């Protein structure tokens, strides 16, 4: 069976949009933050980004998104650089605006949701997003009472305190209930 080539303008434009809009907002817009924000866009805000996720070391992870980011960077859609000893940083590049323009219909259709994700989660660091995206993932995985969900997250993420998990859950509760995931 011959390979099928699919254009990913929507996904590339989303990465371009996030690189532009998170400049000066995110403490460090890097690979982990991208993974978590796209996951939250899909899970909470129902934006059809087209990525499947598994639970991995730092929470929900999509191999396909990681591959798309690498390919997108190779096309000069974004720059992925090692930050000041604190992980990767994703920044705008020469063709960021070109790719943003190619997916302008998708970006316009989901502008409100993208704006909400940036407003609510854009200022969080990778660790904060790791915890919140894991809570969302566990919430989706199976119906659990709150105390059981918090215990499950603590098992998965023992480096977070019970208080950190509970506080993050309380922040997310309105999103979890309103999204009916």
pLDDT in tens, 148-178: 999 999 999 999 999 999 999 999 998 887 7
Is residue 141 pLDDT above 60, yes or no?
yes
Q: What is the pLDDT of residue 14?
A: 98
* Mean pLDDT (the chain, rounded): 93
- pTM recorded for the entire structure: 0.93
- List Cα–Cα distances, 175 to 5, 26, 98, in angstroms: 36, 21, 33
Q: What is the pLDDT of residue 145?
A: 94
Tell me the C-alpha distance between 26 and 121, whole Å.
9
- Written as one string, the DSSP assignment of 103-120 is THHHHHHTHHHHHHHHHH
Give the mean pLDDT of 73-102: 92
Give the mean pLDDT of 78-99: 91
Q: Kindly indicate the confidence band of residue 180, based on its pLDDT and cuts at 50, 70 and 90.
A: low
Is residue 63 pLDDT above 60, yes or no?
yes
Tell me the C-alpha distance between 101 and 69, whole Å.
17
Q: What is the pLDDT of residue 83?
A: 79
**Beta-carbon neighbour count of residue 134 at 10 Å?**
24
């Amino acid at each position: 069976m011959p390979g099928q080539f699919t254009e990913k303008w929507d996904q590339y434009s989303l990465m371009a949009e996030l690189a532009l809009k998170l400049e000066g907002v995110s403490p460090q817009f890097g690979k982990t933050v991208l993974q978590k924000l796209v996951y939250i866009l899909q899970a909470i805000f129902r934006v059809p980004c087209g990525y499947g996720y598994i639970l991995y070391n730092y929470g929900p992870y999509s191999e396909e998104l990681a591959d798309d980011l690498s390919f997108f960077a190779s096309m000069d859609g974004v720059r992925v650089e090692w930050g000041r000893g604190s992980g990767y940083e994703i920044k705008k590049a020469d063709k960021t605006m070109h790719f943003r323009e190619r997916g302008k219909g998708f970006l316009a259709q989901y502008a409100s949701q993208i704006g909400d994700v940036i407003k609510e989660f854009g200022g969080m660091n990778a660790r904060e997003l790791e915890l919140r995206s894991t809570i969302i993932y566990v919430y989706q995985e199976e119906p659990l009472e709150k105390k059981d969900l918090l215990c499950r997250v603590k098992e998965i993420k023992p480096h977070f305190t019970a208080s950190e998990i509970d506080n993050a859950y309380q922040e997310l509760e309105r999103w979890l209930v309103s999204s009916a995931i």
